[in-house]
Structure 1
Amino acid sequence: MADHHPHDRERLRLGLLICIHIVISCVSLIYLADNRFPIAFEPTTFHIFYDPSRWYVAVAVVAAFALVSPLFVLASFSFGYFVGFYFYMMVLSYLWLSCFTNLHYDHRLAGVSAAASAIAFLLPALFISSPIRQAYALSESAFDRLLTFIMLLGAATVAIGAAYSFQFASIDDMSALRNKIVSPTILNYLIGTTYSALLPFAFAGFAARKAYWRAGAVLLLLCFFYPITLTKIALFTPFWLIAVFLLSKLADARSAVVLSLLVPIASVLFLVILFGAPTSLLFSIVSLRLGAIPSIAMDVYNDFFSRHELTYFCQISFLKPIMHCPYQEQLGIVMLKAYQLGNFNGSLFATEGIASVGVWFAPVTVFMCGLVIALGNRLSAGLPAGFVLISGAIIPQALLNVPLTTVLLTHGAGLLFLLWYVTPRTIFEPGTGTQSAAHQLDPPETQWRCAIRFDPSHHRRDD
């Protein structure tokens, strides 16, 4: 019985951490709806409201959906765990916001669909993780050369991108200036793949190989992607990688996932409660962009497609030329014209789900998206949790804001899956020259579980 106590305490701590995060997120949404703060946006423009007379309705809805959270206590870490928790909190925030929104559609039906979609996504994303037999693996020397090639490719990408546009801009001005950037389509794909997937993979690889100067060089390269793209994700990528790296050393992988959202949101909420207006700008940037915007997208897409024709996936670029599509422009631009919220893209819940097939069938398509993420789990099986956590750190952020198809192609998630598959597992094994590097990326308990569950005789995966 004593052997189970540490594991039970770990589960209890994780469950408590998730509960705290749920409460903090709801309180943060209440403060976002507060018009007393001269923050950087108008809450009513983003359909963020809070009615104190209806608080019990929102609390009841969130409490009911919180019954899904034990899945994260029971599941082992995987890439799907990382993505799944972010989507879970997105749906939870949407359910809270939908209780107060001024948009007119069937909120009850949309809420049930959102909750069902979340469960449909989580089941494969959390629990399908059996390894696919590694038919090909790079040698350790080839892996090191691959990391160097990725770094050189990143430098070349920055140089080519800078030839088309290189300018620094404030967060307020970036959108207007970004719309003026004109560059070849293939370069846009290369830029997105490089800073979202390739360079984070190289950073994790150099850290695992204890090549810290090269890991630092990767972070420096990432700093140059903001002036050539003027996107928020490029601006925060190097800082996010550092944060995730530190969390991977300070906590087990599952707790690190929860803390990666909880720490920034709780920190700015504490500051705005303590100091009020002087910190409201920082609060709005972090809480709105990291927590609320993906949930607002679900609210807006539910409203729009409750009265307009569905896309049936015609928004996917390679399908649009061969099928009828009621929308010739990108959905983000369609939403811009309808709601004046900027180029308003949405996650797979909003696009592959609500926009493509409507609320009734959204859980089906979202389940299929969960199977795609589960493929990432299987291709990364055998890699230490910290390596997957760091190398995949940007993909969940991208998935919150753009469709799955875009993340797979433009942001390089599909290529990242392939890199995980061919990464030699031997560089993380005890007795190799990188044994200490694996320990730096994962707590001892996580490594022990990895070693047991990736044993071929067990055919199970855990990080």
Structure 2
Amino acid sequence: MRLFRLSYLTSMSSQPTNEQRHIADKDRRTQERFWLGILIGLHIVLCCVSLVYLANDRIPHLLDPTVFHIRYDPSRLYVAILVVAVFTLFAPLFAFARFSIGYFIGFYFYTMVLGYLWIACFSDLNYNHPLAQLSAVASAAAFLLPALFVVSPIRQTYALSERAFDRLLASFFLLGVVTVAISSTYSFQFVGIEHIYEYRSKMESPALLRYLVGITSSTLLPFAFAGFVARRAYWRSAAIIVLLVFFYPITYSKLALFAPCWIVALLILLKWVKARAAVILSLLVPLLTGILLISLFGQHVASYFSLVNFRMIAIPSVAMDVYHDFFATHDLTYFCQMSPLKRVMGCPYQDQLSIVMQDAYKLGYFNASPFATEGIASVGMLYAPFAVFICGLVIALGNRLSADLPPNFILLSGAIIPQILLNVPLATTLLTHGLGFLFLLWYLTPRTIFELQPRETALVG
């Protein structure tokens, strides 16, 4: 009896107190923030180094960087370092904010603005660069504050049953199969990246089918993949990845080409790191890989460097530079680029902005982010931060609708959205690519499917 009592008292004394737990949690958060800060600092440096490589005409590119106004002048390096250093003051926000879809999108926008600030220091385009850079910094702050810190959950008054949720995932997969099957009757061919624009210009399909392709590939199938992973239905999640592969030969889109690999890469990252670190590494690792490959192998990896460092990361920053130049001397749109508004209000541009930019700069038919479209193009550089702030509030709504879902589930189900928003206006992303529908899906998702045993929570938590 005495030995039992002694053993009990010893076990009680070995259990940590609430104060000890609090101190341990605080130390853990401090250490996590420290490593996030290291990763973010490295990412900032790599972004600048990558842009220097892009401006170096001795490195072979699939596209001439000078045509896209990516330049570098060593005599102005101190100016670029000073501008980037000021913008770096916003970086700690990502170390202290909790994960959300706004965090995911916000970090990609932070990278885009960082790239623009560097490019603008050397740009040969003729507009007020200091004022435009100040507008870009203000726009970034206006977006990040609500997108990072408005995260309180909206009370879920209705949720799908687990059985209905499983049926919904299966229906998304079947819808994807039907979409690919119908689209393949109009166009279906695996082609090299260098030929996609040639084949895309010949595509003809009904508008309704194009909308279905966009929503299915961008939102519904990634959501189904995340749902199957959460339900531990691994064969079904693998089937989603295989199905996503078949969207490339029907769309001839670079995003459709790398989307399956992108989602799998995020899943692998989440096996090793938490969601916030995964977001940073999702850009840092491809960026670093491109720099190392081009440094070591030169022209033999020009395709990778052009696709990742140039097209995926630099082009959204270039778009801000081009839009600032164009709308400094042309009429603003006042949101008339949105099809519903164009029908009821006068608009100085009858074509889509991507076509307008192609006609003016011959850079290809690329769209731009909300910073350039809802911001610069619609209201000009002075009022762009106000428009971007509204975009931040919209993303904050997505934060609130998904606030009590596991970070890994949000990250996987929204895996494609940040990539889309780097090149597409928010209004288009909400409708054509189904971001608004994704918000609704997050709200309706039954939280009970994530109530797993402790050894299982690493998969979805």
Instruction: Classify the TM-score, shorter chain.
Output: over 0.9
- Name the SS of the counterpart of 1:322 in structure 2: coil
Q: Is residue 202–residue 218 contact of structure 1 (8 Å, CA) maintained in 2?
A: yes
1:58 maps to 80
2:298 maps to 276
With over 3 angstroms needed to count, the CA separation of the structure-2 counterparts of 1:319 and 1:284, relative to structure 1, is same
| Correspondence list, 1:4-403, <5 A | 4-403=26-425
After TM superposition, give the deviation of residue 424 of structure 1 in Å.
Answer: 0.2
- Name the SS of the counterpart of 2:339 in structure 1: coil
1:439 maps to 458
After TM superposition, give the deviation of residue 278 of structure 1 in Å.
Answer: 2.0
Alpha-carbon separation, structure 1, partners of 2:366 and 2:385:
22
How does the TM-score come out when normalised to structure 1?
0.93
Alpha-carbon separation, structure 1, partners of 2:229 and 2:92:
32
Q: Deviations over 1:288-307 (max 9, x none)?
A: 11210000000000000000
Q: Is residue 60–residue 298 contact of structure 2 (8 Å, CA) maintained in 1?
A: no
2:442 maps to 420
Structure 2 counterpart of 1:316, which letter?
Answer: M
Q: Deviations over 1:123-178 (max 9, x none)?
A: 00000011111111000111101100000000000001111111122111101211
5+ residue gaps, structure 1: 443-463
Alpha-carbon separation, structure 2, partners of 1:277 and 1:184:
40
With over 3 angstroms needed to count, the CA separation of the structure-2 counterparts of 1:441 and 1:323, relative to structure 1, is same
Q: Is residue 93–residue 292 contact of structure 1 (8 Å, CA) maintained in 2?
A: yes
Alpha-carbon separation, structure 2, partners of 1:437 and 1:99:
49
Q: Is residue 201–residue 392 contact of structure 1 (8 Å, CA) maintained in 2?
A: yes
After TM superposition, give the deviation of residue 441 of structure 1 in Å.
Answer: 3.0
Structure 2 counterpart of 1:147, which letter?
Answer: L
Alpha-carbon separation, structure 2, partners of 1:178 and 1:380:
36
Percent identity between matched residues is: 62
Structure 1 counterpart of 2:371, which letter?
Answer: F
Give the RMSD, CA atoms, in angstroms.
1.0
Structure 1 counterpart of 2:99, which letter?
Answer: F
Alpha-carbon separation, structure 2, partners of 1:247 and 1:253:
9
Q: Higher Cα Rg: structure 1 or 2?
A: 2
Alpha-carbon separation, structure 1, partners of 2:156 and 2:292:
47
Alpha-carbon separation, structure 1, partners of 2:387 and 2:455:
42
Q: Is residue 248–residue 441 contact of structure 1 (8 Å, CA) maintained in 2?
A: no
Alpha-carbon separation, structure 2, partners of 1:329 and 1:422:
38
After TM superposition, give the deviation of residue 438 of structure 1 in Å.
Answer: 3.6
Structure 2 counterpart of 1:312, which letter?
Answer: Y
Structure 2 counterpart of 1:161, which letter?
Answer: S
2:8 maps to none
After TM superposition, give the deviation of residue 180 of structure 1 in Å.
Answer: 1.2
Alpha-carbon separation, structure 2, partners of 1:430 and 1:44:
54
5+ residue gaps, structure 2: 1-22
With over 3 angstroms needed to count, the CA separation of the structure-2 counterparts of 1:437 and 1:219, relative to structure 1, is farther
Alpha-carbon separation, structure 1, partners of 2:129 and 2:226:
42
After TM superposition, give the deviation of residue 277 of structure 1 in Å.
Answer: 2.7
Structure 1 runs of 4+ with >6 Å offset: none
Q: Deviations over 1:25-73 (max 9, x none)?
A: 1000000011002221101111110001111110110010000111111
Alpha-carbon separation, structure 2, partners of 1:199 and 1:10:
32
Alpha-carbon separation, structure 2, partners of 1:119 and 1:243:
29
After TM superposition, give the deviation of residue 328 of structure 1 in Å.
Answer: 0.3
Alpha-carbon separation, structure 1, partners of 2:203 and 2:25:
59
Q: Deviations over 1:236-276 (max 9, x none)?
A: 11000001111112111100000000000101101111222
After TM superposition, give the deviation of residue 436 of structure 1 in Å.
Answer: 5.4
Structure 1 counterpart of 2:340, which letter?
Answer: F
Structure 2 counterpart of 1:440, which letter?
Answer: L
Alpha-carbon separation, structure 1, partners of 2:99 and 2:28:
17
Q: Is residue 117–residue 133 contact of structure 2 (8 Å, CA) maintained in 1?
A: yes
Q: Deviations over 1:66-90 (max 9, x none)?
A: 0011111110000000000000010
1:457 maps to none
Q: Is residue 209–residue 437 contact of structure 1 (8 Å, CA) maintained in 2?
A: no
Alpha-carbon separation, structure 2, partners of 1:438 and 1:230:
38
Q: Is residue 49–residue 101 contact of structure 1 (8 Å, CA) maintained in 2?
A: yes
Structure 2 counterpart of 1:210, which letter?
Answer: R
